Amino acid sequence: MRLRLRNIFLVYFVVSSVGLMYALLQIGQPCDCKGTNAHGRIQHSVVKGHRDLPEDDHLPVIYVVTPTYARPHQRAELTRLSQTLLLIPSLHWILVEDSAERSKSVADLLAQSGLHYTHLNVQTPPVMKLKDSDPNWLKPRGVEQRNEALRWLKLNKSPKDFGVVYFADDDNTYSVRIFQEMRYTQKVSVWPVGLVGGLRYEGPRVEKGHVIGFHTAWKPHRPFPIDMAGFAVSLSLLLSHPEARFDPNAERGFLESSLLGQLVSIGDLEPRAHNCTKVWVWHTRTEKPKLKQEEILEKQGRGSDLNIQV
């Protein structure tokens, strides 16, 4: 009896010690911070690493391609967009500067963003470039930059990487919901875009789950009358068409069609956002800030401190 009690005690001691060790190890461990928000649909991870860290294994990756160029409100726009993207799990931001080299300003912003990202650059040929005085519809912007991102994807991703590619300009407004809609795209998913083409919204018309036409007023004869913000393409579809690119010489309004025409036909389009009845992305434009007082102050020797990044 004396021996048996000691044995029971020893076994219990070993088992409970292991349990206690486990409990002690749990204390002070960081949380795996993911949750659903109030509408119970959006998951997001708080602490994001950068591109060296593996992406979330459970979800297809959303590759957000953003062309950008230097201007007074660039940091504001990129800050705002980066904070929206921070709410989306398993997202990889491909930011492509229209410049001869990658700028320190953008590199710093990306490094502090908490996002997975890739920082690229390519300069638009001068002959194709919009001048400051040109109206912004005169020439398409960001074509070379989006194509550079497509090149990067083809070099760095393989058909076994499950993902979707979205072309998100830095001045539009994105609800977190639109990213949720596009994640599981077979070929090309589509949805309405607000405040574009002179209308409250432009978007696909859907019947019985299929796209049967488009609500648009401007150049309705375009093969795909869809704004850049109104579609996403599956990574595997892009990788299986390694030559697919945006055409820098496309007629005004035909840039989206120049890519989509190489990948799908209208019948392949997958309507999203409740059969294209919800507007969760808006074609907003930010006013060019007026900085007339800078010169005046400078002449008085009281100009802005150029060490202060704006």
- Write the binding mask 10 to 29 for a copy of itself: x where contact by CB under 8 A, - elsewhere: --xx--x--xx-xx--x---
Residues in the chain: 310
Distance of closest approach, residue 204 Cβ to a copy of itself, in angstroms = 12
- Which 279-298 residues touch a copy of itself, going by CB under 8 A? 279, 282-287, 289-294, 296-297
Within residues 29-48, the interface with a copy of itself by CB under 8 A covers: 30-39, 44, 46-48
Q: Give the one residue of 100, 127, 155, 308 binding a copy of itself; rule: CB under 8 A.
A: 308
Name the token pair of 251. Answer: 């007629």
Residue 256 annotated in active site: yes
Residues 46-105 binding a copy of itself (CB under 8 A) are 46-50, 72-73, 75-77, 79-80, 83-84, 86-87
Q: Encoding tokens for residue 14?
A: 């070993």
Are 152 and 103 spatial neighbours (Cβ–Cβ below 8 Å)?
Answer: no
Cβ atoms of 224 and 260 within 8 Å: the answer is yes
Taking the least distance from each CB to a copy of itself, the nearer of 186 and 218 is 218
- Position among 105, 114, 222, 245 found at the interface with a copy of itself (CB under 8 A): 114
The 3-state DSSP class for residue 159 equals coil
Spell 59-76 as b/e; 16+ CB within 10 A means b: bbbbbbbbbbbeeeebbe
Residue 141 annotated as binding? yes
9 near a copy of itself (CB under 8 A): yes
Q: How far is the CB of 36 from a copy of itself (least distance, A)?
A: 7
Residue 289: CB minimum distance to a copy of itself, A: 4
Which of helix, strand or coil describes residue 232? strand
Instruction: List all residues 6 or more positions away from 278 whose beta carbon is below 8 Å from its beta carbon.
Output: 177, 191, 192
| Number of chain residues interacting with a copy of itself (CB under 8 A) | 86
Q: How far is the CB of 34 from a copy of itself (least distance, A)?
A: 7
All residues at 6 or more sequence positions from 148 whose CB lies less than 8 Å from its CB, including other chains: 96, 120, 121, 122
Question: CA 57, 59, 63: angle at the middle one, nearest 5?
Answer: 105
Contact between 44 and 89 under an 8 Å Cβ cutoff? The reply is: yes
Give the span between the Cα atoms of 134 and 137, in whole angstroms: 8
* 5 touches a copy of itself (CB under 8 A): yes
Report in angstroms how near the CB of residue 278 gets to a copy of itself at its nearest. 7
Least distance in angstroms from the C-beta of 236 to a copy of itself: 30
DSSP string, 248-269: TTPPTT-HHHHHHTTT--GGG-
Q: Is 169 annotated among the ligand-binding residues?
A: yes
Q: H or E stretch including 234?
A: strand 231-234
Annotated catalytic residue: which of 144, 256, 270, 298? 256
Out of 101, 132, 243, 305, the residue judged to bind a copy of itself by CB under 8 A? 305
Give the residue among 139, 157, 171 at the shortest CA–CA distance from 67: 171
* Residue 67 assigned to a binding site: yes
Cβ–Cβ under 8 Å, residues 162 and 234: no
Residue 268 binds to a copy of itself (criterion: CB under 8 A) = no
* 184 among annotated binding-site residues: no
Residues with catalytic annotation?
A: 256
Residue ranges at the known binding site: 67-69, 98, 141, 146, 169-171, 283-285
Binding positions for Mn(2+) are 171
